[in-house]
Amino acid sequence: MQRIEEIYWLRAYGCLAVFSFHLLDHLNQRIDTLATDLARIPTVLGTPIFIFISIFLFSMRYGNNIPPGFLGSRVKYVMVPYLVYGLVYSMAEYLRLRAAGADAGLVETLREYLLYAGWHGYFLIIAAQFYAFYWLYGRLHLERWLPATPWLAIGSLISMAWWGYWQSRSDLPPGYLHWIAPLGWLYLFFLALVLVRHYHDSPGGRPAWLMALARPRWLAALVGLVVLFSLPGWLAYSSKEVWVVPLFLLFTIWVMGRLRGRPAPPLVRRLNEFSFGIYLAHPMFFNLVDVLDPGQRLPLLLYVLALGVVGMAGSIAWNLAANRLEWGGLLFGKRLRVA
């Protein structure tokens, strides 16, 4: 398969977006201002980017000719790290709560993390579901009943309605169960299929609606509107918000055209190699910084710098060490092969 340079850029952005989103979580423990809220806007695209990239690359490489063993292999490489890191993070949380004097039960903590997906690895369950959906879509030729273009519009409305429904309710399911339901992410699947279908079209041969949405003025207008609604504090910031659906659609359609064929520099490619490991491991190293600075003695700027350096360097070093072991990549996050 040909190298798709824009995917390198997009994956690097997604990695930094997730990293920055959780860094801002730690920063918010010390300050909570409009500036930190506005800084979250570009970070909410991180998790959707990883889901989109997977389906895009599968569809570009295989189409409906899905090879034998595809589903088992793909699910294995996301669900084994889910269980391993889920155990690590749940045990760390259990020990933290016990040290703080809370009456935390080990079974309850494990259930929250592993069964209810109550940690940032919930993304892995979403990915596994969409791997299965892609496999069914190709094997059963579901495009006959679920054509990508109309279902991009339908799926977007379903996803927005899903997030709007849960935002309107005060009673939520345990953990992140409503986050891992595929309805909230349906638009990503069909967006990937649509962009693959028209990837090799000449500029004049692409649908008019796709060309129109690729114009940066629509993205700029939407970002301006999001900022405007942020000023009075009317918005929440995560990838599970109604406004993120149109933002991601406009951003991705624009960036896939804007970066088409633009070679990714070595630093971007290097970040791609460790993106999965960084996604999984960086909160461990953020928490290490907090453990080493229990009284919040570090000045704010040094604290942010420590989070960034320790979080990034620690995650990369951890992934390098893990992938030297025979089963390390499977257990702790596979290092990607980047040409």
Residue 13 DSSP SS3: helix
| Backbone dihedral region for residue 141 (phi beyond 0: left; psi -120 to 50: alpha; all else: beta) | left
Angle at 126 between CA 122 and CA 131, to 5 degrees: 145
Range scoring the smallest mean pLDDT among 124-128, 169-173, 183-187, 335-339: 335-339
49 is written with which tokens? 């980017």
Q: What is the pLDDT of residue 1?
A: 58
Q: What is the mean pLDDT of residues 192-210?
A: 91
Exposed/middle/buried for residue 333 (C-beta within 10 Å: 0-12, 13-18, 19+): buried
What lies within 8 Å, CB to CB, of 325 at 6+ separation is none
Q: What is the pLDDT of residue 104?
A: 81
Across the range 32-40, mean pLDDT stands at 93
pLDDT-derived band of residue 103, with 50, 70 and 90 as boundaries?
confident
Average pLDDT over every residue of 6-12:
96
Would the pLDDT of 45 be above 70? yes
- Please determine, for residue 170, whether its predicted confidence score (pLDDT) is greater than 90: no
As a whole number of angstroms, the distance between CA 128 and CA 146 comes to 20
81 pLDDT tier (thresholds 50, 70, 90): very high
User: So what's the pLDDT on residue 332?
Assistant: 95
Mean of pLDDT values over 109-129: 96
Confidence of residue 201 (pLDDT cuts 50, 70, 90): confident
Q: Give 242-300 pLDDT, tens digit per residue.
A: 999 999 999 999 999 999 989 999 999 999 999 999 999 999 999 999 999 887 889 99
| For range 33-55, the mean pLDDT | 96
| Three-class SS of 140-195 | CCHHHCCCHHHHHHHHHHHHHHHHHHHHCCCCCCCCCHHHHCHHHHHHHHHHHHHH
Class of residue 102 by CB neighbours under 10 A (exposed 0-12, middle 13-18, buried 19+): exposed
- What is the pLDDT at residue 203? 75
Asked whether 228 and 183 are in contact (CB, 8 A), the reply is: no
